[in-house]
Amino acid sequence: MLKTRVIPCLQLIGDSLVKTVKFKDPSYIGDPINTVRIFNELEVDELCFLDIRATAENRTPNMEILQQIANECFMPLSYGGGIRDVETAKKIMSTGFEKVVINTQAFHNPGLITALSDHFGAQAVIASIDVKKNIWGKYHVHVADGAQKTDVDVVAYAMQLQEAGAGEILLTSMDRDGTWSGFDIELTKKVAQAISIPLIANGGAGGIRHIEEAIKKGCASAVGLGSMVVYQQKGMGVLVNFPDKQELEKSLLS
């Protein structure tokens, strides 16, 4: 097991696995069940599934596909998308998922984070923050799959979510999503240094050196990988894969 968590963060729309670039133009990747089987063989430590359109389309989680994923998966699982209350989270947990990821509802109803944390424990609650930088270089929190811009300061918001009971923060740079250009280290470091709970840096990974930068320079506790684990290389075809663990360990320990 890797000492630093390197987590495939996989995007769903309903029962299809997809991948976006800067939160736009989702491309079909394949069947999530087959993808889980491959990650089982690769002995990945943890998987995260996010239904990126569930909230925007006012859908509840697709319990059938989540049950299938949980039945196949050998590693810890987290899920986000369309979770509006504790009862929905209970249903997801009952399938075998260990964590829930809350984004839009955390913004509109921070009390949901508290209620989930009180019921399941903070370790089971990941608060997700999507962030975009404007032309003046200011970071803005976005919700509803990035469609709704807010005026909330990202650092203050992360601290608020921690106070509400979140056990981890999943921080995604919308500008870097699917670009292979590396994590937003400035953003990652700002948030990581302001909170005491683990921060998962997400959006932009294109190689092991980017993972190393997020951990060593960005002070992230873990990283999320998207394009890097579903494509051969930038601009090339679909290939479910995972970075060489020995190379990862060497890079992160050096």
Distances (CA, A) of 91 to 63, 94, 154, 175: 8, 5, 30, 33
* Angle between helical axes of 110-120 and 154-164 (0-180°, round to 10): 40
Q: 130 an active-site residue?
A: yes
Output the CA angle 142-193-9, nearest 5 degrees: 50
Which helix (H) or strand (E) segment is 227 a member of? helix 227-230
CA 78 to chain centre: 9
**190 φ/ψ angles, rounded to the nearest 5 degrees:** -55, -45
- 104 burial via Cβ count (<10 Å: 0-12, 13-18, 19+): buried
Nearest CA-CA partner of 164 in 111, 87, 109, 128: 111
Tokens of 246: 């020995």
**Catalytic entry in 15, 118, 130, 177:** 130
Give catalytic residues, as residue numbers: 130
